[in-house]
Amino acid sequence: MSYRFRDLAIDKIGVVGSGNIGPDIALYFAKAFHTHGVPVVVVDVSEEAVARGRAKAEQKIAKGRESGAFKPDAADAMIRALTFTTDYAQLAGANLVVEAATENLDIKRKIFAQLESLCGPDAILASNSSHIEPEEIFGGLSADARKRALVIHYFFPAERNLLVEIVPGRDTDPARTRSLMGLYEEIGKIPVLVGGRFGYAVNPVFEGLFLAAALAVEEGLGTVKEVDTAARVALGLGIGPFTAMNLTGGNPITNHSLDVMTSKIGPWFRSPRLMKDAMASGKPWDVPKRDEKIELTPEQGRKIGDTMLGAYFGLAGEILDSGIITLADLELGVETGLAMRAPFSLMNEMGVGRALALVEAYAAGHPGFPVPKCIAAQARAGRPFRIEQVIRRDEGDVAVLTIRRPRVLNALNDDVYEQLAAHAAALRDDKKIAAVVITGFGPKAFVSGADVGFLAAIKSPAEGVATSERSKVSGNLFEHLGKPVICALNGMAFGGGNELAMCCTARLVRAGLPVAVAQPEANLGIVPGAGATQRLPRLVGVERAAEMLRTGRALSGREAVECGLIREEVDGDVVDAAIALARAAARGEVQLKPIDPRPLDVPAALPSIDIGHRSRAIDGLICRAIVEGGRKPLAEGLRIESELFGECCATEDMRIGVQNFLTNGPRSVAEFAHR
């Protein structure tokens, strides 16, 4: 069997190296591809390493089976997919090989020389190097092989950490890079594109923060335990920098890399005395034990925190200045890969001027540390950094907008709505663009709904009306763009996601989604506020729309097609299909029927249905929106919906529903007061 994605055919995957990270990379591949029957072969020269790697992977699969993360059949299939061997010949026929051997350039070059002769002429040759430039690793390969070679840098632990840095070399075929970016997104990873500077984008943050923490200890700001604790609090880390070094076994690589960074990045970087001593002793760092409370005075905590923040912001700014990564990708990469508060959001939160002052203070006490131009310029401008959460790329005359907030399944908030509106305004006037596609990031969700935290901030009916009106702006702009707008539903569209999709000229959905679209607002004790009570009845009929709106019932992709909400299910890449449809519609080759804005023939009273535990007070408002708004032209009906959304913000049940969601999660049933 095999797996096909765009121009990639995956019949067999190879992983070279059965040490710390190779088995975890292989495990993720087995998890992603076992249903397609794709074998994953792990090769190592050491029988002992092979045995350890096999045991490690099987133990993790067994643990997943016990916890319920893997169903028994899936766990069995994953074990069958994995082969651990010392026989390099078993890599023959692999379409994708990831080298995960030790961080030694000579060893890597020898491995790739062997892989080029062993694997086929189309095989992608990737290195999981954490630092070394692609040109250094692949310089000995033929010109043809260099087109297929690049770095794919995983982060610890590779089977759970979703970040991968995709680092092409100068000779890497850009089309292969784009396909791999899409493949990794499709299998649930979060890929970011990075230039080939030593250390890439995220490791200089990780190792630079360790260096800053070690220097803080050397300078007498605190002990290892104290600095580890204060840094964790200041940076929003799950674990402190010394604890992270223990868990990842990172001392040897970091010791070497920091010394190389001196010439590759800047003179501040070097392995500190504290690291040299730790390497000589062979002992782990003396970090806080589980539940151990480390007491710091407020002044000590502030001083260490400011030191670490100054270093953090300076490191992130220097990487952005280098041009190897975009701001949005660096923000996402650091937040995902290092599990910490994203740097530019944190600067915006405290004020960019204050962030610059911290960087300047750190640089004043640490020769060679840079004051980034990007932070200085932003502080002079007096504006926060713009962090793109709606990413635009142009495919010829079709613009593709991707909503990218993977940690919250692309949920909508004010920033996303504003960015969508800004893109719509720009696209309306862009004569090079004939059509637009809107999609979401990742395989799970187009948009999971509105960010409930943003709903919880509404304090009054007037704020509710204003919020509802703001949430409609971008959809209205796309609805009246004057160009075809196709929604490519890569995953579920709930709440505001379905409302945005309904503003598009047509909708496509990836085939086989058992849960595709829903308006679950009634479960939260709120009235839909971005157009669902008006557009859904016009697309699927009043009776079906009322049932969906009042009960929150979801439709599968097939059901959504059958009732007319979605044009068709798509086998294969739904974005590519949407691009083709958008282009055909722009050329007049396909006629798409926009939503009919005329009043509906709505009965005086909607059919009685069982709304279960849901709020009767909110149900009454939803019914009013459907009936009163439906009898008006669409624009007037949308305004009526906004006013009724404002009314719901004055109810006790909205507070109950939203708080229940925030406290207990989306599956918890709220106990409404019906008022």
- Rounded to whole angstroms, the Cα distance separating 2 from 16 reads 20
Question: Residue 650: which residues within 8 A CB-CB, separation 6 or more?
Answer: 460, 461, 464
The helix or strand, by DSSP H or E, that contains position 135, with its residue range, turns out to be helix 134-138
Whether residue 241 is preceded by a cis peptide bond, meaning omega within 30 degrees of 0, is no
DSSP 36-81: GT--EEEE-S-HHHHHHHHHHHHHHHHHHHHHTSS-HHHHHHHHHH
With tokens 């911290």, the residue in question is 358
- Rounded to whole angstroms, the Cα distance separating 675 from 669 reads 17
SS3 for 239-256 is CCHHHHHHHHCCHHHHHH
Distance of CA 462 to the CA centre of its chain: 34
> Between the CA of residue 244 and those of 239, 460, 528, what are the distances in Å?
6, 45, 44
No. of H helices and E strands in the chain? 30, 19
Q: Which amino acid is at 337?
A: G
* Nearest one of 221, 243, 408, 196 to 338, comparing CA atoms: 243
Instruction: Return the CA Rg of the chain.
Output: 27
Supply 509's token pair. Answer: 């959905």
CB contact at 8 A, 89 and 118 = yes
- Rounded to whole angstroms, the Cα distance separating 456 from 454 reads 5
How many C-beta neighbours within 10 Å does residue 360 have? 16
Distance of CA 390 to the CA centre of its chain: 12
DSSP bridge pairs for 399? 394, 436
Question: Residue 152: which residues within 8 A CB-CB, separation 6 or more?
Answer: 98, 126, 127, 128, 164, 165, 166, 167, 180, 184
- Rounded to whole angstroms, the Cα distance separating 159 from 337 reads 12
- Rounded to whole angstroms, the Cα distance separating 236 from 649 reads 33
Q: 444 by DSSP, 3-state: which? A: coil
Q: Which residues are catalytic?
A: 499, 521
The helix or strand, by DSSP H or E, that contains position 85, with its residue range, turns out to be strand 82-85
Cα dihedral value 632, 636, 642, 643, nearest 10: -80
Q: What DSSP character marks residue 514?
A: S
